[in-house]
A and B are shown apart, each in its own frame.
Chain A
Amino acid sequence: MNLNSLSRICRVVGKCRAITVIPVKPFSHTCMEKTLKQSEIVSSKKHFKDIIVLKSSLSSHDELIVDEKEKLYKAIDIFVKSHEEAVLDSYIQFCSSAAEQLDIPVHRVLTPKFIIDRMTLLKSKHIFKKHRVQYEIRTHKKVLQLKRLTGSTAQVYLEYIQRNLPAGVAMHVHKWELERIPAHIQAEIKSNISQLTDEDWERESNFLKKIETNQSQNASDYEEYETTGRFLIGTTS
């Protein structure tokens, strides 16, 4: 798949934010306005304009274009493992250049320390316990950390990346999604924000500082990068 065509698709999809076409009976203009207000959209005015433009182009069709909520990712980690580090190096170079083409900000590339699995086996098939043979298996690792993606770009990028995975390379993708604060909590915040003291504000600012410092960790802290839990960007533990 050509990268240029992919990037074009990405930008278009990014604008329209994951369109799904649902066939509906012919509707009135006022009905459409109501549906827009009921669904929660990030910026309603801009969205309305987009919808109107699309409607005029497809005026002959009896189809309602509903905007699915676009997922927003705070960060995506691409964790790659292989027996050969040269293969990993070239693959990660390819991945980061593809990310640059699609305007995805690359946070950094980590190289956690490689793991050696050793086996000490008997050299002879009968007796001679004192004489052994040692074998080892090395797995090299690399992590590509990307920041601030939309769901559609992530989908396209990951599909492109995975189609070009070399043989013998294992990939794990860790995603961190941004979610809206639930409505009832938002209401509580609105009602209680005036009651916050200076102590509370200090505490919150310290918390934010902790998060910021946690983001700029050394690569040596990621030596045992295996699971998601301990290495969340934006957590303090």
Chain B
Amino acid sequence: MNIAKSVANKKFLLTFAPTVIKCSSLHATALLCKSQAGKHKISKFNTKPLTYDQAMKPDAIGWKKSHLTFHTGNLHGEEGAYQLMYEDKFIRNFIMGTFYRMISGIVIKRRFNIVDVIATSDVSVPPGGYRMDFLIGYSERLLSAYLKCVVKIHMVKISVDNSHYKYI
């Protein structure tokens, strides 16, 4: 009777069991689900700052996190994924280089012929010193010449508290 009951219970439980099947080759638990994407190396005394975007893992996209580029290349049935990714990488490298150590995050939005580059800086720059306007104009001109599009750069000043979400 008891054996029959236990067997019946097991069968009942199996109907509501999760779809994960435990066998030797498949590991589906959280502990073993290791992936290197979105991981940052920790510093010795927790001095390395991370932005909110960097602090969230990639599986939080669509949940706590949004994308840093907005274009239609990766949609199902749309073309241009490779070219737009390449251009994004180029834009990011260019802007990190021209505004060296002044930028915490870059967001790129594409609408038809226009590329909007929104760069957030948390560094307070003296007004007469670095000539921010000149750098913005210069990078806009060069980028639009390279990419054959209308490139607009928006510099947004953020306070350090808002920019640094976590120290690692």
- Classify chain A's interface size: 10 to 19
Size range of the chain B interface in the assembly: 20 to 34
Q: Is B159 in the interface zone, CB < 8 Å from A?
A: no
B residues less than 8 Å from A182 (CB atoms) = none
> A84-B62, A123-B35, A133-B35 are contacts. A167–B75 as well, Cβ < 8 Å?
no
Instruction: Flag whether B74 is at the interface (Cβ < 8 A).
Output: yes
Nearest neighbor of B25 in chain A, beta-carbon distance: A130
- Contact in complex: A170, B35 (CB < 8 Å): no
Interface string of B59-72 (1 = CB under 8 A from A): 00010001100111
Q: Are B70 and A168 in contact (CB under 8 A)?
A: yes
Which residue, of B66, B67, B70, has the highest number of chain A Cβ atoms within 10 A?
Answer: B70
With A and B bound together, what is the CA distance between A118 and B35 in angstroms?
Answer: 17
Interface centre among B67, B70, B75, B77 (most CB of A within 10 A): B75
Complex interface bits, B31-52 against A, C-beta within 8 A gives 1, otherwise 0: 0001111000000000000000
Q: Is A82 an interface residue (CB 8 A)?
A: yes
B35 touches A169 (CB 8 A): no
Complex contacts, B157 vs chain A, CB 8 Å: none
B92 at the interface (CB under 8 A from A): no
**Residue A12 at the chain B interface, CB threshold 8 Å:** no
A55 contacts partner chain B, Cβ-Cβ < 8 Å: no
In the complex, B110 has a CB within 8 A of chain A: yes
Task: State whether A167 and B77 are in contact (beta carbons under 8 Å apart), knowing that A84-B62, A123-B35, A130-B25 are contacts in the complex.
Answer: no
Contact of B78 among A133, A138, A166, A170 (CB under 8 A): A170
| B residues near A82, Cβ cutoff 8 Å | 75
The reply to whether A137 and B77 contact each other, CB–CB distance below 8 Å, is no
A138 to B70, CA, bound (A): 14
Complex CA distance for A123 and B39, rounded to whole angstroms: 14
Residues of chain A within 8 A (CB-CB) of B77 are 81, 139, 226
Chain A residues with Cβ below 8 Å from B89 are none
Cβ of B5 within 8 Å of any chain A Cβ, yes or no, is: no
A230 to B78, CA, bound (A): 20
Q: Does B164 contact A (CB under 8 A)?
A: no
Assess whether A83 is in contact with B109, with CB atoms less than 8 Å apart: no
With known contacts A133-B35, A167-B109, A170-B78, A81–B72 Cβ distance under 8 A: yes
Inter-chain CA distance A169–B76, complex, in Å, is 12
Give the residues from 102 to 138 in chain B that come closer than 8 angstroms, CB to CB, to chain A.
109-112, 116
Min C-beta distance of A115 to chain B, whole Å: 5
Q: Give A166 Cβ to nearest chain B Cβ, in Å.
A: 8
Give complex CA distance A165, B109 in Å: 12
Contact A137 B76 (CB under 8 A): yes
Q: Are A170 and B25 in contact (CB under 8 A)?
A: no
Sampled A-B contacts (23; CB under 8 Å): A81-B72, A81-B76, A81-B78, A83-B62, A83-B75, A84-B66, A133-B35, A133-B37, A138-B62, A166-B70, A166-B111, A167-B71, A167-B109, A167-B110, A167-B116, A168-B67, A168-B70, A168-B71, A168-B72, A168-B109, A170-B72, A170-B75, A170-B78
Enumerate chain B interface residues (CB-CB to A < 8 A).
25, 34-37, 62, 66-67, 70-72, 74-78, 109-112, 116
Q: Which residues of A contact B (CB under 8 A)?
A: 81-84, 115, 117, 123, 130, 133, 137-139, 165-170, 226
Q: Which 5 A-B pairs give the minimum distances between C-beta atoms?
A: A168-B70, A167-B109, A167-B70, A170-B72, A139-B76
